[in-house]
Amino acid sequence: MNRVCVIGSGIFGIAAVREILRTVPGCRLDWVSADTVAGGLWSAPARDGLMYDSLHLNTSRERSAFSGTTIPGRPTVHFVHHARYAEYLAGIAAECAGAERHWGCRVLSVVEQPGGGWSVRWSTGDGGTEERRYAAVVDATGHNAVPRGPDVPIAGDAAYEISHSAEYSSPDLYRGRNLLVVGGGASAVDIACDLVPFAATVGISVRTPAWYLPKMFLGRPIDRSAGGGWRGVPLLGRLTDRVAEQVVRRVVGSYRSYGLADPVRPLAMSAPVLSDHFLAHLGHGRITAYPAVTALEQTSVRFADGAAEKFDAVITATGFTARSGHLPPAVRDVLSTGRLGLDVEAAAAPRLFLMNRFRCADAAVRCAEVQAAAVAAAVRNPRPARTRGSGATGSGTRVTASVLRKAYAGYR
């Protein structure tokens, strides 16, 4: 039996299908997705699409393209709009003509079979179900599916609006209101900046200090290098980590002068948040920094310094959890406790490959292609499951394509 099933049509699913079709001769590949369009969270019509009107990529056009392809656009536009990127991803998926598509079909279960292999059952568009058996299954549904609220007490009858960043679409809906964005990551920063011209006031509550760097530095994208991030900055890429961090501190200045706490983790071990506007808005008073939120009370928001303040609306950009109910219980347990690390197989589930279960600090495509190559190699050369990519993947951990290449060296 040489049949493989790939679940998910986002960036990691596209990468897996593309690589398996290219490098696994004679493979019969089924491609199952709950969506009817490619792109995952980058596609507005997708079930888990997370797009808002003004969103642009936080990684440069050059690094956000699959190998051997380019994203159409003017050479001077380095960070493309999400709609253009969705069109690009749909085009790449359309080129994967060797896969049998079952799109608009939600996977219901993945069950290990006696004697080896896996049975995958999914709902069909006509209300029925279908089930097939596979030698290997690749789950590329990822970890950004179910919105996760802040881990603080939340009043059930709050007098102000509380929503998640997944629901955010346009700043015009918040015109003239006093807003608080909870979170310090890329989405929180981007949304806070997006709100500035429309809201009466904008605040941002940051629990975990991060490195905030500009997208462009000395006329070029900061991530345009093999390693991504600050190593792409001219004059910094050849310096030691410690010296480069000192240079960044001098260029950006003290974060405390903007009302933010200084990062705790070294720059080389962090996933910087890129924005050309965030620090400028803080410096001009257009955004106000607040400490961590400790409670969303009935009439006000309570902060870690004991102060409380009233807002008209609160947008929580506090992340997501995976939608993994279709996976075996033993695998869900591994994922929920963070024991998978950078591995692509759980010890109890050989030949069930799990992609995009970590936070990529590089362009997602770069991480996806490296992981897809490891999965395709394992599909070509079956062998007993063993630890291949263990490593920390917690909040703030810097996982880049270069880190993954080292982690998956055993596949080559």
Taking only the tens place, the pLDDT of each residue in 150-204 is 999 999 999 999 999 999 999 999 999 999 999 999 999 999 999 999 999 999 9
| Predicted confidence band of residue 216 (pLDDT cuts 50, 70, 90) | confident
Q: The pTM is what? A: 0.90
Domain boundary among 282, 316, 350: 316
Whether 137 and 80 share a structural domain = yes
C-alpha R_g of the chain: 22
- Enumerate helices (H) and strands (E) in the chain, giving the number of each: 8, 22
On whether the CB atoms of residues 303 and 289 are closer than 8 A, the answer is no
Return the minimum-mean-pLDDT range out of 64-68, 142-146, 211-215, 222-226. Answer: 222-226
Whether 300 and 397 share a structural domain = no
Domain boundary among 267, 286, 316: 316
| Predicted confidence band of residue 234 (pLDDT cuts 50, 70, 90) | very low
| Predicted confidence band of residue 347 (pLDDT cuts 50, 70, 90) | confident
Strand positions, DSSP E, 200-266: 201-205, 212-213, 216-217, 220-221
Whether 159 and 277 share a structural domain = yes
Q: State the angle between helix axes of 11-23 and 364-380 in degrees (0 to 180), rounded to the nearest 10.
A: 40
- For residue range 98-136, what is the model confidence (pLDDT) as tens digits? 999 999 999 999 999 998 899 999 999 788 999 999 999
C-alpha angle 358-361-362 in degrees, rounded to nearest 5: 115
Whether 175 and 312 share a structural domain = yes
Distance CA 228, CA 12 (A): 18
Domain boundary among 268, 299, 316: 316
Of 400 and 299, the one with more pLDDT = 299
CATH number, domain of 95, equals 3.50.50.60
Whether 217 and 247 share a structural domain = yes
| The total number of structural domains that make up the chain | 2
Whether 132 and 258 share a structural domain = no
Whether 155 and 296 share a structural domain = yes
Whether 107 and 26 share a structural domain = yes
Show the domain range for 39: 3-145+322-411
| Predicted confidence band of residue 339 (pLDDT cuts 50, 70, 90) | confident
- For residue range 55-106, what is the model confidence (pLDDT) as tens digits? 999 999 999 999 999 999 899 999 999 999 999 999 999 999 999 999 999 9
Q: Is 86 exposed, middle or buried (0-12, 13-18, 19+ CB in 10 A)?
A: buried
Of 184 and 394, the one with more pLDDT = 184
Average pLDDT over the chain reads: 88
